[in-house]
Copies of this chain bind each other. A is one copy, B any other.
Amino acid sequence: MAVTETSLDQLLKPGAAKGARGSRRDNRRDVLLAAAARHFRERGYSGAVLRDIAEEAGMLAGSIYYYFPSKEDLFVAVHAEGVRRISAAVDAAAAVAGDPWGQLEAAMGAHLESLLEGGDFAQVVIRDMPTDVARSPLVALRDGYEDKFRALVDALPLPTGVDRGTLRLMLLGALNWTRAWYRPEGDPPARIAEKFVGYLRMAM
For A173, what are the chain B residues with a Cβ–Cβ distance below 8 Å? 173-178, 180-181
- Interface of A (DSSP majority class): helix
**A interface, how many residues as a size bin?**
20 to 34
How distant is the Cα of A181 from the Cα of B44 in the complex, in angstroms?
20
Number of copies of this kind of chain in the complex: 2
Interface residues of A in 100-130 (CB under 8 A from B): 127-128, 130
Spot the interface stretch: A20-28, A59-67, A69-77, A193-201: A193-201
* CB 8 Å contact bits of A147-184 with B (1 = contact, 0 = none): 00000000000000011001101111111111011000
**Nearest chain B CB to A194 CB, angstrom units:** 10
6 additional A-B pairs beyond A44-B44, A47-B130, A170-B199, beta carbons within 8 Å, are A127-B128, A163-B195, A173-B180, A176-B177, A176-B180, A200-B203
